[in-house]
Amino acid sequence: MERDTKVLALALSAGLLLPIVLIALMVAMGSDAIDIVVQAIMLFSMLPLIAMSLYMWATGKGASLISGYNTSPRAVQEQYDTKRLARAVGKLMFFSLIPMLLAIESIFILDETWPFWALLVISMAIMVIGIAYMNTGGRFLKEGAMDPRLLITEEDRKSNRQILYGLLAITGIIIVVVVIILLLVAPGGSVTAELLDEGLRVDAPMVNELVRYEDIESAELRGDLEIGRRVGGFGGENVCSGKFRNGEFGGYILASYNDVPLHIVVYHSGEVLAFNLETVEATQEMYDQLLNRFEVRTSGP
């Protein structure tokens, strides 16, 4: 097997095996099913691209995958140093995809949203500046090559413009959709709790818990709860919810308004559920009602 083929096989294998390992770790850590699905889609789409970019950077092959170059007439393609072009594109892809990957991961790992926006801006800036650099100055033409513009017919120019406008439109739509979703989701979310006949029900983004009264070991009202870090779930401006981990409980379920310092902590079946409601007063009232219902259940026949 040739060296370049081995490098390509190794890169693609890493791009496919690494997501499998990371998803397996998430399953072992008990991450939320929705988070696992989202991570799987994201990792299986981005890591192979990163692997391909490393292959192009290392070998100088893969120019036929470059948009714009692969649609140009053969006479135009022959004017370019394809190895230098492929290496440059691979390098550009790598350094723009890494911060984009980290930006998406920050949504799952961090509670703040500013790292996502900062990393996304860095990724887009690298991409825009890199593309502008590569498309000016004839940087990747062979020595003594003709100006490719002289070899392109008006029909070719029209076709290239249509492809370019289509790609820009698709990219713009994707960016707009992502921004709209984030703007709608980030400030959203709510926490609701109710005492049913069979138990306590708490609903929030990524949380749908029903704790039966007979499974409740104890409950307490806490004003000093260390939330810890999000393992899998939702982190908005108003609400944080899902699977969290801190030094006191280890892994636990949280459904919390960020601006409410009071939490009800319910210990049940060896697990922990911490939640609050929209105000301190509503949280206190729910705690009193829960204690009353719990006492009735435990002291009954």
% residues pLDDT > 70 (the chain): 80
In this model, does residue 110 exceed pLDDT 70? no
In this model, does residue 46 exceed pLDDT 90? no
In this model, does residue 154 exceed pLDDT 50? yes
pLDDT of residue 280: 96
Adjacent-strand bridge partners of 263: 222
Range ranked top by mean pLDDT from 49-58, 59-68, 98-107, 261-270: 261-270
Q: Between 290 and 146, whose confidence is greater?
A: 290
In this model, does residue 84 exceed pLDDT 80? yes
Contact, 228 vs 244, CB < 8 A? Answer: yes
pLDDT of residue 300: 40
For residue 55, name the pLDDT band (cuts at 50, 70, 90): confident
- The predicted-structure confidence for 89-107, as pLDDT tens digits, reads as follows 999 999 999 998 888 777 6
| Bridging pattern class, strands 250-257 and 271-275 | parallel
How many whole angstroms separate alpha carbon 175 and alpha carbon 171? 6
- The predicted-structure confidence for 179-232, as pLDDT tens digits, reads as follows 665 555 555 678 999 999 889 999 998 888 999 998 999 999 999 999 988 777
For residue 262, name the pLDDT band (cuts at 50, 70, 90): very high
Mean of all residue pLDDT scores within the chain: 81
pLDDT of residue 265: 96
In this model, does residue 45 exceed pLDDT 90? no
pLDDT of residue 209: 93
For residue 11, name the pLDDT band (cuts at 50, 70, 90): low
In this model, does residue 289 exceed pLDDT 90? yes
In this model, does residue 258 exceed pLDDT 80? yes
- The predicted-structure confidence for 21-36, as pLDDT tens digits, reads as follows 877 877 776 665 666 7
In this model, does residue 298 exceed pLDDT 50? no
pLDDT of residue 36: 72
